[in-house]
Amino acid sequence: MSAMSRAIRACAATASRRNLSVAAASPKEASAAAAAALVAGRRGGSWDRGEDGSRVQWVFLGCPGVGKGTYAGRLSRMLGVPHIATGDLVRDALASQGPLSKQLAEIVNHGKLVSDEIIINLLSKRLEEGEENGELGFILDGFPRTIRQAEILEGVTDIDLVINLKLREEALLAKCIGRRKCSQCGGNFNVASIDIEGENGGPRMYMPPLLPPAECESKLITRADDTEEVVKERLRVYHDLCEPVEEFYRARGKLLEFNLPGGIPESWPKLLQALNIEDPDNKRSAAA
């Protein structure tokens, strides 16, 4: 990991500042088939260790509020690899009152993307700490967000799979505005109740609220950047700058696109199925 951290810093320092062009992407059908073939080659728990003994190296993509942290965190616990969310790294730096805190607050509170330099420095520090703790592999959430970042990452490590979570924008907006956190226990909740007509005659999308227990109700706080104006700006920035990253990985046959059909109870088992991972809870139920 420390070697990877050093390589990220070196690549970032020497990367060209010109706009990097994306390789011509294959048709979406061909890319989907390539990603499906990649996933089909792994069975059950065989994702958790590669032939060289290292663990999975995955990336989660998706609009702000889509649930990258939730699903990446669950897979992290299941596969035994660290979940590294650059959003969490930024929020930790904000809370630290360190030299970056004021600069980051100005960026985040206006819905802008944090610069490559800051993100790469935060990520490198996190990887160094992980190496000291004996971590192997990772699930990245929030990096890369630009073509330059994707080029840097590709230059220093081989990403196994890129999971692109997708959700209708009206649901994304409601989810972000409904997010809450308990100021005492740190638990994350959502007060939004989403019930949307299906598209093109499809099923309705229902996502129930994730309400806090009684002891947390009076301690809920809202993130400063979870206002409608800021969320809409974050979504606009994502579409402008981050969708090319999807094309970058689609062209390489590593992009697995997953449309969230609803809330966690409905989406989680279908995501595991798409990843060809057996659900240990289901196995325990079958054995009982």
The b/e string for 203-232 (b: 16+ C-beta within 10 A; e otherwise) is: eebebeebebeeebeeebeeeebbeeebbe
CA distance linking residue 273 with residue 262, whole number of Å = 15
Q: Which residues are catalytic?
A: 68, 145, 179, 223, 234
- Helix, strand, coil shares of the chain, percent, nearest 5, are 50, 15, 35
Instruction: Return the bridge partners of 7, or none.
Output: none
Query: ∠ CA(193), CA(234), CA(200), 5° rounding?
Result: 50
C-alpha span between 222 and 216 (Å, rounded) = 13
**Cβ atoms < 10 Å from Cβ of 108:** 20
Task: Provide the residue type at 213 as one letter.
Answer: P
Distance CA 99, CA 103 (A): 8
Q: Which among 141, 163, 165, 166 is positioned nearest to 256, based on CA atoms?
A: 163
